[in-house]
Amino acid sequence: MGTFSKMHGLGNDFVVIDARADAVELTEARARAIADRHTGIGCDQLIVIGPSPRADVAMRIFNADGSEVAACGNATRCVPLFVGRDVTIETRAGLLDARLVDDGARVDMGAPRFDWDAIPLAYAMDTLAMPVSWEDLPPPAAVNVGNPHVIFFVDALDAVDSARLGPLIEVDPLFPERVNVNFAQILDPHHVRLVVWERGAGLTRACGTGACATAVAAIRRGLASGPVTVSLPGGDLVIDWTPGGTIQMTGPATFVFSGEADWDSF
């Protein structure tokens, strides 16, 4: 038997497995089975907290489809709450620093990357105003914040069929590792509305890395200046970034319940 906690950040929900003392073997099929909302525990992402020789803990992240990814902002905010103190976290995207604040956490998400091969894209192009688009969407920006994001700034967010366009863009050959798709509307220089189609998870109530990527792209384009409040369907995150620096993300993290499970049964 192993222990887990059900947690969420703005409704983006996680099964957080404690593997610090006892290792948990996760395959793509097992992660998918645990994440299933009908026959498993149910979550958008599965998070495994283990030991690290370089940081306080290590974090592995699996999407609901079983694919392993390098970064998840909402899950990162849950880690200090799960551990019970400020922590450094080893991830595939690098070392992150997460500190408890009232009702949540503040995370240094590291520096964004903009080179086409760091996103990655299939071929070289300008990532601030990409010379491509889909249907009547405007040319997007691309940012890697530990995982790949493409951001479309639109005039009327409610008019965008994100549930239809998101999955088409996610798997476009331009993105060899697939991509998270962000649809954003600038409300004022410090406030952005955002809906995200997450790679491997679909539409979720919130996406922390999407909020980071969108705020960074808006600041780079001169559409916004930090700090930026990013309003997602599940609530607000505050993102601050100065060109050349690292991204600071502040927002809620919530513990729901804890339990035990036999991981070999999945």
Q: Indicate which residues carry an active-site annotation.
A: 72, 207
Cα–Cα separations (whole angstroms), residue 169 to 28, 138, 140, 214 = 23, 13, 11, 16
Point out which residues pair with 97 in neighbouring strands: 88, 108
**From its phi and psi, is residue 34 left (phi > 0), alpha (psi between -120 and 50) or beta?**
alpha
Residue 96, both tokens? 């992150």
Cis peptide bond prior to 140, omega within 30° of 0: no
| CB contact at 8 A, 209 and 146 | yes
CA 1 to CA 10: how far, in whole Å?
A: 29
Q: How far apart are the first and last CA of the chain?
A: 12
In the block, tokens 């609530």 appear at: 235
| CB contact at 8 A, 91 and 58 | yes
Cis peptide bond prior to 120, omega within 30° of 0: yes
3-state secondary structure 28-97: HHHHHHHHCCCCCCCCCEEEEEECCCCCCEEEEEEECCCCEECCCHHHHHHHHHHHCCCEEEEECCEEEE
CA 228 to CA 218: how far, in whole Å?
A: 9
